Chains A and B, each alone.
Chain A
Amino acid sequence: MGELRLMKGNEVLAEAAIRCGCDGYFGYPITPQSEVMETLMELQPWETTGMVVLQAESEVASINMVYGAAATGKKVMTSSSSPGVSLMMEGISYIAGAELPCLVVNVQRGGPGLGTIQPSQADYNQAVKGGGHGDYRLITLAPASVQEMHDFVDLAFNLAFKYRNPAMILTDGALGQMMEKVELADFKPRWTREEIQEISGSWATTGKTASRERNVVTSLEMDPGKMEQNNLRFQEKFKAIQENEVRYETFMCEDAEYVLVAFGTSSRICQKAIELGRAKGIKVGLLRPITLWPFPSEVIASMTCRVKGFLSVEMSAGQMVDDVKLAVFNSGCTVPVEYFGRMGGILPSPNEVIEALESKLINR
């Protein structure tokens, strides 16, 4: 068993990064995730593992520092919260276009605009649809516990490098600030020069040697024919990710007539709501997407013909509900799909969830 500690979600992101052999973190302070960089500065990993930690002048700069380092084959990341992640969208689009692996963490707060510093899930669409310009996708992981905040750092890097695509951990201020018991992974050494050569040598800018052509990392291609080919290649990659990397968890779905669909913080609220609902005799279960993209559409489709309805429970105005509807539409069976949520930093309560289930689906 690994080392056990009581930690905040934001702190554990920092700890997990060091332990998984991350080469660099570039960030800019923003509530509610500033503890990520603060923890790293406190831990001084440059003295131990050699990991670089740098406070950038803006989120625009930090994501471009990630671009530069990632393009040399290094395992690098940044973290921010909603307004800061909006600023990063240009860089994320370039990273996707240049096919660079990296990790971006969004500890969401309420929007739009400067919004609030309280937790939210209103950046769902931004994360799962790409967010910046162009046809691309982010591998999007949604942790629901401090333990998963820890585990998904390593997982996100693995997926990012496997597919040469940016990965995002989409979490929120509640999980970032929450303290829970966490089992820490053992320290993995950072990749050596030889390992980087082995893993990324075919494309990374590690210095042109006589034994190979020069490596150029760019998202630019002036020839529209070639640019379409690039896009087709990206789409093939996204298809492979959809086929291989869907992750989800079900809770009390075996006999469920109604299924709540929720991720992250709202999925934990739903677990309590299910207890309340079951006590009232409602056969209700939970589907928790762990990968928001690729979305677990097939599991929803497989449930559609045996349930009476889905309720998407979100800390937003109803964004994921569209993906649930799409999955149901593609299943061939027709059942109602409804949404319930709170916005602006307010968390839905378990009672509200059950009331919404009753009014929108059971007694409709």
Chain B
Amino acid sequence: MDIKDIIKPENLVYDKSKLQIDTIMHYCPGCTHGVVHKILAEVIDEMGIQERTIGVSPVGCAVFAYNYIDIDWQQAAHGRAPAVATGIARTNPDKIVFTYQGDGDLASIGAAEILHACNRGENMVVIFINNAIYGMTGGQMAPTTLLGQRTSTSPGGRNVELNGHPLKITEMIAMLPGVHYVTRQSAHTASTVRKCKKAIRKAFENVMAKKGTSFIEVVSTCNSGWKMTPVGANTWMEENMFPVYVPGELKDNDKQVPSEKN
């Protein structure tokens, strides 16, 4: 049987989104970014909003997000993506804007920008990739690095007296009245990928309905930075990251009765 006899529309169980660009993968094998990029491309494609969507890429490994998804993109200075997205969204209310940021970008250098953009309830999606390390610069300590976690700038493990505690910025974001939807996901198994996609789709639908900010943390792995195998990194994430960054919904204004809305 020839391969052409097998690849027929009626046999198709999976297809790559047409918004995924064939580009040389710069992410390490095992990295979560590739999976989340794929989900994003699928959601934008399935919702038919390619012409309305503008992405804002960060500084960090995902600076090159614009090489992977076939939409218009802006590249922001380190941590400033929420301010850039504010500028886009305010002057282009017909557009659907999202930022894609890592933990160093969002929770350290860009802490002010994300808090204030969320506090204003900017009509945008925030994708927050939390892998507890600076990947691009070679594995330095991040604001979300766990206590005891070894990085190149915390070689003896993160120490409270020296470095303070891991910053649970997503919990802080969830407290802000302007934020409509806050959820913490992962994307390391088939079922979590499906759940994560559902959450991202919901976030984009919220922005289409002009409900304010929708914030999705994806607890992620950086097996290169963590010096682990991809499988080992997934296990380490489940055992060490999940107890601190507990997956689940933190806030959904759709599910609250109006009097409970903050």
Could you list which residues of chain A lie within 8 angstroms of chain B, going by C-beta atoms? Answer: 23-24, 26, 52, 54, 56-58, 60-62, 64-72, 74, 76, 90-91, 94, 98, 205-209, 214-220
Known: A205-B74, A208-B70. A68 touches B95 (CB 8 A): no
A121–B50 Cα gap in the complex (Å)?
Answer: 47
A74–B112 Cα gap in the complex (Å)?
Answer: 25
Closest to B90 in A: A52
Of the candidates B66, B71, B75, B90, the one whose C-beta lies within 8 Å of that of A69 is B90
Of the candidates B53, B74, B87, the one whose C-beta lies within 8 Å of that of A218 is B74
Known: A68-B86, A91-B80. A215 touches B75 (CB 8 A): no
A207–B57 Cα gap in the complex (Å)?
Answer: 15
Q: Are B83 and A64 in contact (CB under 8 A)?
A: yes
Q: Are A209 and B88 in contact (CB under 8 A)?
A: no
Known: A64-B80, A67-B74, A220-B63. A205 touches B88 (CB 8 A): yes
Contact with A along B94-112 (1 / 0, CB 8 A): 0100000000000000001
User: 20 pairs across A/B with beta carbons < 8 Å?
Assistant: A52-B91, A56-B116, A58-B112, A64-B80, A64-B84, A64-B113, A65-B84, A66-B87, A67-B74, A67-B83, A68-B76, A71-B87, A72-B54, A74-B91, A98-B75, A205-B88, A206-B72, A208-B50, A214-B70, A215-B72
B115 to chain A, nearest CB (A): 8
For A215, list chain B residues within 8 Å (CB): 72-73
Known: A206-B72, A207-B95. A69 touches B87 (CB 8 A): yes
A90–B83 Cα gap in the complex (Å)?
Answer: 13
User: Is B85 part of the contact surface with A, judged by Cβ < 8 Å?
Assistant: yes
A113 to chain B, nearest CB (A): 21
For B84, list chain A residues within 8 Å (CB): 64-65, 67-68, 71
Q: Are A208 and B56 in contact (CB under 8 A)?
A: no
Of the candidates A64, A98, A205, the one whose C-beta lies within 8 Å of that of B72 is A205
Q: Are B74 and A207 in contact (CB under 8 A)?
A: no
For A90, list chain B residues within 8 Å (CB): 77
Q: Are A61 and B72 in contact (CB under 8 A)?
A: no
Of the candidates A23, A58, A216, the one whose C-beta lies within 8 Å of that of B75 is A216
User: Is B252 part of the contact surface with A, judged by Cβ < 8 Å?
Assistant: no
User: Is B52 part of the contact surface with A, judged by Cβ < 8 Å?
Assistant: yes
User: Is B51 part of the contact surface with A, judged by Cβ < 8 Å?
Assistant: yes
Could you list which residues of chain B lie within 8 angstroms of chain A, going by C-beta atoms? Answer: 50-54, 56-57, 63, 66, 70-77, 80, 83-88, 90-92, 95, 112-113, 116
Closest to B51 in A: A207
Q: Are A60 and B95 in contact (CB under 8 A)?
A: no
A238 to chain B, nearest CB (A): 22
For A217, list chain B residues within 8 Å (CB): 73-75
A94–B57 Cα gap in the complex (Å)?
Answer: 14
For A208, list chain B residues within 8 Å (CB): 50-51, 70-72
A196 to chain B, nearest CB (A): 10
Among A23, A209, A220, chain B packs the most CB atoms within 10 A around the CB of: A220
Known: A54-B86, A218-B66. A94 touches B73 (CB 8 A): no
B20 to chain A, nearest CB (A): 13
For A26, list chain B residues within 8 Å (CB): 87
A113–B145 Cα gap in the complex (Å)?
Answer: 34
Q: A61-B113, A65-B90, A207-B71 are in contact. List 6 more A-B contacts (CB 8 A).
A: A60-B83, A64-B83, A64-B113, A67-B84, A71-B88, A217-B74
For B63, list chain A residues within 8 Å (CB): 220
Q: Are A214 and B71 in contact (CB under 8 A)?
A: yes
For A69, list chain B residues within 8 Å (CB): 87-88, 90-92
Among B53, B57, B92, chain A packs the most CB atoms within 10 A around the CB of: B92
Closest to B81 in A: A64
Closest to A70 in B: B87
Q: Are B113 and A72 in contact (CB under 8 A)?
A: no
For A52, list chain B residues within 8 Å (CB): 90-91
B120 to chain A, nearest CB (A): 8
Q: Are B73 and A214 in contact (CB under 8 A)?
A: yes
A312–B224 Cα gap in the complex (Å)?
Answer: 58
A94–B75 Cα gap in the complex (Å)?
Answer: 9
B82 to chain A, nearest CB (A): 8
Q: Are A24 and B75 in contact (CB under 8 A)?
A: no
A215 to chain B, nearest CB (A): 5
B34 to chain A, nearest CB (A): 19
Among A54, A76, A219, chain B packs the most CB atoms within 10 A around the CB of: A54
A219–B57 Cα gap in the complex (Å)?
Answer: 12
Q: Are B90 and A57 in contact (CB under 8 A)?
A: no
A187 to chain B, nearest CB (A): 19
A67–B51 Cα gap in the complex (Å)?
Answer: 20
B93 to chain A, nearest CB (A): 9
Q: Are A60 and B112 in contact (CB under 8 A)?
A: yes
A215–B80 Cα gap in the complex (Å)?
Answer: 20
For A91, list chain B residues within 8 Å (CB): 77, 80
B226 to chain A, nearest CB (A): 24
B183 to chain A, nearest CB (A): 25
